[in-house]
Structure 1
Amino acid sequence: MSSGPTNDVRVERTGGIGRIVLDRPKAINALTHEMVLTIDATLRAWATDDGVGAVVLTGAGERGLCAGGDIRGIHADAQVGGAATRDFWRDEYHLNALIGRYPKPYVAVMDGLVMGGGVGVSGHASHRIVTERTRLGMPEVGIGLVPDVGGTWLLSRASGELGLYAALTGAVLGAGDALAMGFADWYLPTGKLPALMSALADLRVPAAELPEALGGLLQDLAEPEPEPELSAYRWWIDRCFEAPTAEEIVHRLATSGVSEAEDTAKTIGQKSPSCVKVALAAIRRARSHRSLSEALNQEYRVSLRCLAAPDLVEGIRAQVIDKDRTPRWNPAVLEQVDDATVEGYLAPLTDVAELGLEGER
């Protein structure tokens, strides 16, 4: 059964399971505004529908669950003022908050590529599954943005300084690291996904018993978690990324005598200096946030400031439009981004309404 104003989301009911399938496989299911609105409306309707006991999110095709937002659309909109992108982010962040507090089990199958906005529709789910093909990341600082869609909430709660490492480098994480960092809960090889979908469709238990039954099903199908690839680097990641400033983080990395750390310093040097510094501040502040909603409120402020700054248009141009991979950041280096500039990104909005989300996780 299809639903909503777009054909890019398939909405289906099988027994007591409501399925949402992101269906833009040629774009690796990148989210459009219409897709966000369809998912939101569907989830709100199912929340009070006694015939739906749980929700399952998947992506069409084999390349990934979701490659993020429609970056080309954001680029075009930013060049002419950014009102459409502002509205898209507002509705997207409200959807992220809804997923985080959803009253029924919400199963996200994070197979293949899961980037940016893809993390937003899956990383706050109650049951998060990764596979051997999972490649998860928050690469925003490389295009003139800062991790959003609740990314600062998740990154701030990763063990040690792994969240900052992932945010400031845009690192792509495999299943083992996604599990170790708290982005996922279960590991299922792709060969077991058909069995999962079949078993979900066959579940016939009262709604009150569904969470326990679902947990038991996943426990039966799940396999041991893969070893996190970053485990061998934890000692220098924690030591370097606990430094008080971005400049000191890069200095520690560059002078560590460890080749992987030195390469990490070079990687950070390729990102937007402004966004590196703002991401550092935003994630450290998110450590004291009491709810996902609080983090999303902060991210909305930051994202709108990024939309008005030159690095977003330039970053998307270099990485996605022209693909020359040589963005001309402004300012060009970390030392030129002062504390007042960083605070300006995080400050309350004055020209437009705040996101205004309330409530706990």
Structure 2
Amino acid sequence: MTQTDDRLRWAPAPGHGDEVLYAVDGPLGRARLHRPRAINALDRASIDSLHQQLSAWAADDAVAAVVLDGAGDRGLCAGGDVRALRTAILEGRPEEAVAYWEAEYAVNALVDSYPKPYVAWMDGIVMGGGVGVSSHGSLGLVTERTQLAMPETGIGFFPDVAGLQLLARSPGETGTHVALTGTPVGGADALVLGMADVLVPSSAKDRVLDALRQDPAQGAGEIAERVGPQEESSWLADHRGWIDECYAGDDPGLVLRRLREHPAPEARAAAETVAARSPHSVGVTLEALRRAASMDVPQVLAQDLVLGRAFARHPDFVEGVRAQLVDKDRQPRWTHASVADVTREEVLEAFGER
């Protein structure tokens, strides 16, 4: 909470629960993801609530801009509620998982095309689905506490919510590194990737809100000048040499070999990370990333839905969620032993092209 938040009238959207709370703060529509014990993970109720209220505010002349944040002090959003999706799939209801993704991607598309300034306070953890409701907006604010990631290859899935549209446009192969490893990056790296717009101190939230109340259309430069930018070095920028060299091309096996053979210890560490991810996920993710380079957000979201249907049927997804989030033994038993064992036909099958 900021100094003024406790004076606002926070309430759910009409007909919805308190998974997301809303308030009108002068000219600002404030949306707060409100599942702090789950680091505000997006369940279906959260997604439906967001779609309804964001759509209503888009047509409300009294709301000049929307500001999104997360309840609690751990972060904006830890991602989608993949444990619930795993349960649905195991119980023979894969269509429920697909319906969830359809609804989630509709919210991502709404954020991308929002007719008013859409500001996301990306403090703390911002992962997976949290990227989808923040990075596609008009202004993303990260802090020294930000830990941003698309960690899906570690649960047998792929970076969805049109995150690949952003990562495909990141400098050099920095987006490829983030997509394949799923490793969290800091606020300065989020700027390099194009997944956020300005780095500010986490203590500056009140000042940011004050600035937006005065001028809801303020951009990154104006915000930075008003609150003072946070200085932080970018790990990705510092390591562009081996990243660009190793991750080039379309062959995940070759990428892994280059990483393993590179003299930079950070490259060899990345190799171990990629090798531990689902080989199927790594192969499909690299292909999807390359295709996303020529797509806009709606096109990537359409691709994501095709892939989601395929991953709902693939055993690596339920196994990856089990190992990472259910049993938490961190010992997934993937379908393939290595990326070299994933055939081109299997990759194309995920895109419905076989």
Matched, 1:40 2:40: no
Task: Supply the distance in 2 between the matched residues of 1:88 and 1:243 (Cα, whole angstroms).
Answer: 33
Distance 1:313 1:213, change over 3 A: closer
Which has the higher mean CA deviation after the structures are superposed, 135-144 or 39-48? Answer: 39-48
Match of residue 281, structure 1, among 275, 287, 303? 287
Match of residue 237, structure 1, among 234, 243, 246? 243
Per-residue Cα deviation, 1:108-146 (whole angstroms, up to 9, x for no partner): 000000000000000101010000100000000000100
Match of 1:357 in 2: none
Question: TM-score of the superposition, structure 2-length normalised?
Answer: 0.93
Residue 224 of structure 1 and its aligned partner are, at CA, apart by: 4.8
Distance 1:217 1:241, change over 3 A: closer
Match of 2:38 in 1: 27
Task: Supply the distance in 1 between the matched residues of 2:294 and 2:160 (Cα, whole angstroms).
Answer: 17
Which has the higher mean CA deviation after the structures are superposed, 268-277 or 223-232? Answer: 223-232
Residue 213 of structure 1 and its aligned partner are, at CA, apart by: 7.4
SS at match of 1:211: coil
Match of 2:310 in 1: 305
Matched, 1:64 2:75: yes
Match of 2:152 in 1: 140
Letter in structure 1 aligned against 2:50: I
Match of 2:227 in 1: 221
Match of 1:11 in 2: 22
SS at match of 1:305: helix
Per-residue Cα deviation, 1:62-89 (whole angstroms, up to 9, x for no partner): 1000000112111211212322211110
Which has the higher mean CA deviation after the structures are superposed, 327-336 or 55-64? Answer: 327-336
SS at match of 1:93: helix
Match of 1:359 in 2: none
Task: Supply the distance in 1 between the matched residues of 2:71 and 2:87 (Cα, whole angstroms).
Answer: 26
Distance 1:300 1:280, change over 3 A: same
Contact conserved, 1:161 with 1:242, CA < 8 A, in 2? yes
Task: Supply the distance in 2 between the matched residues of 1:58 and 1:219 (Cα, whole angstroms).
Answer: 21
Contact conserved, 2:250 with 2:287, CA < 8 A, in 1? no
Which has the higher mean CA deviation after the structures are superposed, 312-321 or 211-220? Answer: 211-220
Gaps of 5+ in 2: 1-9
Match of residue 127, structure 2, among 99, 110, 115? 115
Residue 227 of structure 1 and its aligned partner are, at CA, apart by: 1.4
Matched, 1:102 2:111: no
Task: Supply the distance in 1 between the matched residues of 2:131 and 2:211 (Cα, whole angstroms).
Answer: 25
Distance 1:99 1:225, change over 3 A: farther
SS at match of 1:42: helix
Contact conserved, 2:20 with 2:46, CA < 8 A, in 1? yes
SS at match of 1:158: coil
Residue 218 of structure 1 and its aligned partner are, at CA, apart by: 4.6
Distance 1:36 1:222, change over 3 A: farther
Per-residue Cα deviation, 1:165-188 (whole angstroms, up to 9, x for no partner): 001101101011001110110111
SS at match of 2:239: helix
Contact conserved, 2:212 with 2:218, CA < 8 A, in 1? no
Matched, 1:76 2:87: yes
SS at match of 1:142: helix
SS at match of 2:267: helix
Task: Supply the distance in 2 between the matched residues of 1:15 and 1:212 (Cα, whole angstroms).
Answer: 15
Contact conserved, 1:301 with 1:348, CA < 8 A, in 2? no
Contact conserved, 1:186 with 1:225, CA < 8 A, in 2? no
Matched, 1:318 2:323: yes
Residue 190 of structure 1 and its aligned partner are, at CA, apart by: 1.1
Task: Supply the distance in 1 between the matched residues of 2:77 and 2:47 (Cα, whole angstroms).
Answer: 12
Give the length in aligned residue pairs: 342
SS at match of 2:72: coil
Residue 322 of structure 1 and its aligned partner are, at CA, apart by: 0.9
Which has the higher mean CA deviation after the structures are superposed, 235-244 or 58-67? Answer: 235-244
Distance 1:213 1:140, change over 3 A: closer
Paired-residue identity, %: 42
Contact conserved, 2:12 with 2:19, CA < 8 A, in 1? no
Residue 217 of structure 1 and its aligned partner are, at CA, apart by: 4.1
Residues 189-204 of structure 1 correspond to what in structure 2 (within 5 A)?
189-201=201-213, 203=214
Residue 348 of structure 1 and its aligned partner are, at CA, apart by: 6.6
Match of residue 103, structure 2, among 81, 91, 111? 91
Task: Supply the distance in 2 between the matched residues of 1:39 and 1:215 (Cα, whole angstroms).
Answer: 28
Task: Supply the distance in 1 between the matched residues of 2:304 and 2:290 (Cα, whole angstroms).
Answer: 13
Matched, 1:327 2:332: yes
Match of residue 350, structure 2, among 296, 320, 345? 345
Distance 1:222 1:85, change over 3 A: farther
Distance 1:168 1:10, change over 3 A: same
Contact conserved, 1:187 with 1:222, CA < 8 A, in 2? no
SS at match of 2:236: helix
Match of 1:50 in 2: 61
Task: Supply the distance in 1 between the matched residues of 2:248 and 2:48 (Cα, whole angstroms).
Answer: 39
Residue 232 of structure 1 and its aligned partner are, at CA, apart by: 2.5
Task: Supply the distance in 2 between the matched residues of 1:220 and 1:108 (Cα, whole angstroms).
Answer: 17
Gaps of 5+ in 1: 350-361
